[in-house]
Structure 1
Amino acid sequence: MSSRALRKLQNDEQLLDSLLSASGSERSTPTPASPAVAKTNIFALMNDEDEDNDSDEDREVASDSEAASIKVELPTKSQKKNKKKKGKGTKKSKNVEKEQAKDESVSEGEELDKIIQQFRRQDVQKYGIKADESSDEYQTASEEEEDLSNYFAQKTLMSDLMGDSAISLFPYSKLKHCKRFFNADLKKLDPHSEFKLLFDDLTSESLEDIDSMTTSHVTPQQLKQIQRMKRLIKNWGGRDHRSVPNGPGATPHRLKFTKVREDWLPTPRGELAMRALNLEDLREWQMWQRPNDWKDVIDEDIKEMKKNVSFYKFEPLNPDINRKAITEFYLSTIMHPDHEALIHLISSKYPYHVPALLQVALILVRQGDRSNTNGLIQRALFVFDRALKAGIQFDSLACQLPYIYFYNRQFYLAIFRYILTLAQRGAVATAGEWCKTLWSLSPLDDPLGCRYFIDHYLLLNNDYQYLIDLSKSPLSSCYKQWSTVGITLGAVLSYLRVGLPDEAQKLVRSAFSHHRRSLSILYTEKLLGETDLTGGLEKERTSAEVIEMKAYMARFSLVWTKAEEVSFLRNELTAIYEEIRNKKFELEAEEEHATSNDQNCFFVDGIPVNLLRFAILSEESSVLGSLPSDLWEKYDVYEFDVLPPVPTSKESVEILETVKSFINDRDLAAYQGEVMQDEELLNQIRQMSLEQFLEENPNAGVE
């Protein structure tokens, strides 16, 4: 069996134990007692050599109620040892026993899968909560859901966000009821935890070797110099690679989700600082977002926001050094693009300059060199990890980062690029947790459009219950633009995977009411449906619907992997189209979209700006081809800052931070003059070489 299958069996066994403990009180029907069954690790069946290392907990006897309810008898250790002793006669008998043990483990795993799926189906039908939650947690979650449902029952769901830049239907006071959709456990952000589950034979020594590896090409001489510098910087790295200094005399800072690498230059203090936003900062931010609202109304909302959520911004710790680094970066990226100059910038002058690190990582990917990309992105994340406040959690309440600040946007971008790197390395569970983290930084604004791609990583990790709950939550149903095709169809697939086809059928019909034009594109282009049945719905689609559907179809085949699931979706859509033709299915009248205006910061020419950012960052050719052609000319689309926020009033021009906010025009002119002088000197050298060549070869230009 593969390592991923072994991991799944172990997780299923743990899930089964928790299900039995949580649901044991609900089964009031008495059952006859059965002989006690010893609790055995499934992995023990695959490896007889580790029997003596098992802990005493594995020898505990399961309760009679558990044995009677499951009726799955696993062999005890003594039974396996007796089998092993009896089979010592010949080498052939040993091989036979190993094959039998493997077959038994596979059959037990299949039976265990059926039991797990049954419990999942019961939980979805009864509670709608995660299967591994205890009864107390369920009671708390249901009270929160009831409170949230009562509130939103008084509102009009599926409103149009285009006419509500204040997001008035979802106040920040209600966000606490949705924090379970975000990441509160920072340990899940470490891919080594997932790799250890995928490959159970990994030892702590192996992981230690991975942590000590370099992330870039460095010579042995350079590595020795770095080792000498580490002796001069106290508390750099530490035994677990998670300790860094925060200035002379300051307490060492513990890293949350990154580790210090051997080739990283030791520095006595960080590059960024994390500052809490005050009332004036929040007022400026909200006045940019809501230019048409009264200032008194905004002030009342800000007081409520500050009660429930903590807002921060990243800013340079040394403005002078940052200004010089940004100036050189801007010159080498925008004014005079020079890849070699950028690489020199991070290798010698400013090794922790985040925009340059992310830009060089992207350049290397396009050149086909992915070996150093992960290390550069991790170094960028390290800069932010070093600046984080102690006790910060990414649960949407303890830390939100408004998107109007430049270095906040760099943190968003670093996480997005890291998610892509994790997925390429096969750590889909960790990638899903980082998606939740990215969304938690601004769940209502959702600047990079997590709603458009989070379903992909959750489905790859079999996180079906999360998707089902998310599709029912106000985070997906409060506004039309929040109910994305990915989350809706992801919930449909989740229902199919847990064995609830009736619920999946209902959700397909509900999704058709909201995404009829988008689904018509999927039906004709991906499901190979009959174009005559759609009635021309695909011709009425908007630009936003085309971009969203193209982005979803680019990864459709990676999650809809089973032919029967694809056939189910195609048959359901075919049945709906036939009912429409026979006038048995009534289409709900669509409300007209609110008129788009330049003062709504969430839209660009009627298209959600977070959808455009995601489409550009995904770099999918089919998606990029569906973007408006004038987008690149009308707006700033930098690779290090895709579609930064634009002013909505004269007052907001100075509020928004851009790359130019950190550049001194005088320094830029001086740097540009130096570059022009160097180029002129190179041109003279080339001209002199050409003249010298013609003098030595007078007939070179004659045919």
Structure 2
Amino acid sequence: MSSRALRKAQREREELAQLEKQNHESTAEEDADDDEAVDSTALPPPKPSAFALLGDEDEGDDDEDQSADVGGVAVSAQRESPVPTSSTSKPKKKKKKKGGKSASHEGGTVKANGVDEIDEALKQLSTSGNGTGETTAGVDASANEACRLLAIDTSHLHAQNEMRRLFGRAALEQQDDDDPAAPNTGGNRRQQRRGQQMGLAQALRGQRAQGGRAGGLSAIGLRRNIFIQGKEEWPVSTSGGLGMEVVEKRKDGTVEYRFVHNGAYQDVQSQFESCVASMDPNRLVVLLQHNPYHISTLLQVSEIAKQERDHTTSGDLLERALFSFGRAVHSTFSKNLAEGKARLDFRRPENREFWLASWRYMQNLSMRATWRTVYEWAKLLLSLSPDHDPYAMWLVLDQYAIRSQQSLDYLNISRNKALQHAHDDMPNVALSQGLAQYRGGDKSKGKQVLFTAIGRFPWVVARLMQELNLQPPPGIWGKEPRTDREKLYTDLYATRAKDLWNTPEFSALLTEIASALPPDVPSADPDTTDIALNEARHVLLSDQPALIALIPRAYTSQLTSSSDPMPPPDSIASYQTSAVIPSRQPQPDFTSATSNLRELQGLYTFFADLFPWFNPSGTDGAAPQPSEEEIERRIQASGVSEDVIVERTQRMMELQRQLIGDVHEDGDDGFPGGLVGDVEAANQIRLRQAMVEDDDSD
């Protein structure tokens, strides 16, 4: 409520009180005077000035559109109707008496008897609106601040906006020139690959309407999407039955949503699962041609294009999936997302597809170095479930923030009390806070934070300096991670953040602070916490084979589909599909077989780092077998327990047997040509079976 409306209501309330008082104290002579004044009030009122009318109009707008924030509670008041009064001169007498009062008007505030009347009115409205007179100010202030910090600016979700700011419109024209359907005059191999990419891209554009701009999606539908700006060449079709509904409006102000599938969409989902079980990628392409905005099919075909190194088509399919999500959102979702109050439950498979599409889209954007857009998408995934963080965004949010020049925003988010519990023991957060503080201008404070972080996690800085080809000082020399979780954090940060430190200024800063660390500082107790499921999911989706080997066997054994990697154990299934399984023995998802191959490569890297003589191919020129003493010495120097080595050896042999078992006798390797390769790739797997024969006999 505006101050004008409050003053008006207060004046009317005072007039009523004075009228009642005068009715009791008036005499017969005053009543007679009142009768004489009736004729004077019957005269037509003077014509108001244009400025007065303008003021009344503004006052009416304020009454209708504005609200007063009373003690943290938004209080809205309707316009009160004028109080009917009799045609007497009592209001006139009231005005005369009021003129004699000592009233001060200062800054639009009316004061009488030393009491601020506006504050009094606000207090009364607050009490009447809340019942008990209490407000919500100060209640869950940290949680409310977290919502404000996690608010999403949807304009930063569009990569075209960032590229336009960085490079101008010429960058967007260059993107069109890089279209896979464009002619290429390169070498034969490049022409062959470009032809394959053009074939897949052309197949997916088969539904494009003729007639140019008028035949495509509407211009309004292309632009008005909170996630992705659509493209004219995309097929003209509906979302196929994808929608969103409100699940719960919580007491803290957040709103939980869920994506829903209608009956037609569920039928297409059953067809999708049948295509996956058939191990025929061509059936998926055909299904996508008839259902161009089916999310699961878009994600699966996008992964196929990615394995064929057709990143343009892969990214285009991911954009189409997010565009379909944007068309299906609830009418209130955009507003709550912009306020950091929108939530999605990761336990629902329909919601998990949005997480997966967003993550893969972020990886695609990273290749274009549009870091501001990537950071906004990462913050979006964190805001949808900040308490659980199913994709472990805290492991990478800091690097995206620094690369996108959002250091201050990251400092505010990471230091919020309601969010600190999710990253207390993460070394990347502590180191990035110091780096962000230093880059933000407060260099002395930044050095102090970095000194504390290096003292807590010296093995991370030792590994980072190894990546930067720097000589570790005595304070951190020889420091190694002691558990798998510490090694995972160390390798993730050292391999990802090395570019942030790989400048003369920051390399010198790292060396200076690390050299100031005393060599006899006792190390903190080892982190005995196991790798969490969300961290394992993060590593698996990061597509780094060397790190996949660190994931516990209990998690990797659950990997059955790349379209829903590592679902939570308490997953909530909204419906059951009726997929038609082929008569032959069902085969695993071909993309999961690719993940098994990557996990096997990660295990090879692990053993190659542990034992220099390790030779999985069994080819000539291998190093001689070492003695048992040498093996024991290497194991003790690495700090890896023997149980872990035995477990990973068994897992490596199991993966070899699984991958070799997928090779059929007729020479078909069971994988599409672009995923793993031809029969030669399967023969390479056969050669690796000869490794660790001694362990097999044990």
TM-score, with length taken from structure 2? 0.55
> For 1:646, which of 569, 582, 585 is the aligned residue?
569
Distance change in 2, residues 1:194/1:389 (3 Å):
same
Does residue 1:367 correspond to 2:308, yes or no?
yes
Per-residue deviation, 1:495: 2.6
> For 2:146, which of 164, 178, 190 is the aligned residue?
178
Q: Which residue of 1 aligns with 2:608?
A: none
Per-residue deviation, 1:507: 0.7
Secondary structure in 2 matching 1:275: strand
Distance change in 2, residues 1:674/1:446 (3 Å):
closer
Do the aligned partners of 1:226 and 1:263 also contact (CA within 8 Å) in 2?
A: no
Per-residue deviation, 1:512: 3.8
Per-residue deviation, 1:366: 1.3
Q: How does 1:127-526 map to 2 (within 5 A)?
A: 174-200=142-168, 202=170, 217-218=201-202, 222=206, 225=209, 237-242=217-222, 254-268=224-238, 270-278=240-248, 305-316=250-261, 318-319=262-263, 321-333=264-276, 335-347=277-289, 349-391=290-332, 392-393=334-335, 394-395=337-338, 397-474=340-417, 477-479=420-422, 481-512=423-454, 514-522=456-464
Query: Which of the pair has more CA radius of gyration?
Result: 2
Question: Equivalents in 2 of 1:515, 1:190: separation in Å?
Answer: 37
The more displaced of 410-419 and 485-494 is 485-494
Q: How does 1:67-86 map to 2 (within 5 A)?
A: none
Does residue 1:624 correspond to 2:553, yes or no?
no
> For 1:543, which of 484, 487, 491 is the aligned residue?
484
Question: Equivalents in 1 of 2:555, 2:298: separation in Å?
Answer: 26
Question: Equivalents in 2 of 1:184, 1:591: separation in Å?
Answer: 37
**Equivalent residue letter for 2:242:** L
Question: Equivalents in 2 of 1:210, 1:684: separation in Å?
Answer: 41
Unmatched 5+ stretches in structure 1: 1-149, 152-170, 244-253, 280-304, 597-605, 648-654, 677-682, 687-703
Per-residue deviation, 1:354: 0.8
Q: Give CA deviations for 1:573-624 in whole Å, capped at 9, x if unaligned.
A: 232242xx2xxx566x64986xx7xxxxxxxxx2122211111111023322
**Equivalent residue letter for 2:259:** F
Question: Equivalents in 2 of 1:672, 1:324: separation in Å?
Answer: 20
Per-residue deviation, 1:230: 7.4
Question: Equivalents in 1 of 2:404, 2:140: separation in Å?
Answer: 30
Per-residue deviation, 1:403: 0.4
Question: Equivalents in 2 of 1:185, 1:220: separation in Å?
Answer: 31
TM-score, with length taken from structure 1? 0.55
Q: Give CA deviations for 1:7-66 in whole Å, capped at 9, x if unaligned.
A: xxxxxxxxxxxxxxxxxxxxxxxxxxxxxxxxxxxxxxxxxxxxxxxxxxxxxxxxxxxx
Do the aligned partners of 2:455 and 2:517 also contact (CA within 8 Å) in 1?
A: no
Distance change in 2, residues 1:476/1:512 (3 Å):
farther
Per-residue deviation, 1:194: 1.2
Do the aligned partners of 1:272 and 1:314 also contact (CA within 8 Å) in 2?
A: yes
Secondary structure in 2 matching 1:554: helix
Distance change in 2, residues 1:559/1:518 (3 Å):
closer
Per-residue deviation, 1:451: 0.7
Per-residue deviation, 1:674: 12
Q: Which residue of 1 aligns with 2:72?
A: none
Do the aligned partners of 2:272 and 2:297 also contact (CA within 8 Å) in 1?
A: yes
Does residue 1:657 correspond to 2:573, yes or no?
yes
Do the aligned partners of 1:359 and 1:640 also contact (CA within 8 Å) in 2?
A: yes
**Equivalent residue letter for 1:454:** L
Question: Equivalents in 1 of 2:413, 2:380: separation in Å?
Answer: 15
Question: Equivalents in 2 of 1:381, 1:433: separation in Å?
Answer: 15
Q: Which residue of 2 aligns with 1:11?
A: none
Distance change in 2, residues 1:237/1:206 (3 Å):
farther
Q: Which residue of 2 aligns with 1:87?
A: none
Secondary structure in 2 matching 1:314: strand
**Equivalent residue letter for 1:627:** I
Aligned residues: 437
**Equivalent residue letter for 1:617:** L
Secondary structure in 2 matching 1:330: helix
Question: Equivalents in 2 of 1:684, 1:484: separation in Å?
Answer: 49
Secondary structure in 2 matching 1:657: coil
Q: Which residue of 2 aligns with 1:553?
A: 494
**Equivalent residue letter for 1:668:** V
Per-residue deviation, 1:684: 14
Identity of aligned residues (%): 22
Per-residue deviation, 1:387: 0.9
Do the aligned partners of 1:183 and 1:433 also contact (CA within 8 Å) in 2?
A: no
Per-residue deviation, 1:184: 3.1
Question: Equivalents in 2 of 1:536, 1:645: separation in Å?
Answer: 38
Per-residue deviation, 1:555: 1.4
Question: Equivalents in 2 of 1:489, 1:422: separation in Å?
Answer: 25
Q: How does 1:541-690 map to 2 (within 5 A)?
A: 541-578=482-519, 581=520, 585=521, 590=525, 606-629=530-553, 631-633=555-557, 635-636=558-559, 638-647=561-570, 656-657=572-573, 661-664=575-578, 667-669=579-581, 671-672=582-583
Secondary structure in 2 matching 1:420: helix
Unmatched 5+ stretches in structure 2: 1-136, 183-197, 588-663, 668-698
Q: Give CA deviations for 1:512-545 in whole Å, capped at 9, x if unaligned.
A: 4543554454456656445975486525x22222
Per-residue deviation, 1:207: 10
Question: Equivalents in 2 of 1:563, 1:505: separation in Å?
Answer: 16
Question: Equivalents in 2 of 1:219, 1:413: separation in Å?
Answer: 24
Q: Give CA deviations for 1:40-93 in whole Å, capped at 9, x if unaligned.
A: xxxxxxxxxxxxxxxxxxxxxxxxxxxxxxxxxxxxxxxxxxxxxxxxxxxxxx
Per-residue deviation, 1:385: 0.5
Per-residue deviation, 1:405: 0.4
Question: Equivalents in 2 of 1:396, 1:513: separation in Å?
Answer: 37
Question: Equivalents in 2 of 1:642, 1:401: separation in Å?
Answer: 18
Distance change in 2, residues 1:518/1:656 (3 Å):
farther
**Equivalent residue letter for 1:425:** R
Q: Give CA deviations for 1:373-432 in whole Å, capped at 9, x if unaligned.
A: 121001110121011112424247431001000010100111111111222123211111
Do the aligned partners of 2:154 and 2:226 also contact (CA within 8 Å) in 1?
A: yes
Secondary structure in 1 matching 2:559: coil
**Equivalent residue letter for 2:303:** L
Question: Equivalents in 1 of 2:171, 2:302: separation in Å?
Answer: 30
Q: Larger RCO: Structure 1 or Structure 2 (Cα < 8 Å, ≥ 6 residues apart)?
A: 1
Q: Give CA deviations for 1:482-518 in whole Å, capped at 9, x if unaligned.
A: 4533332222222332343321221123324543554
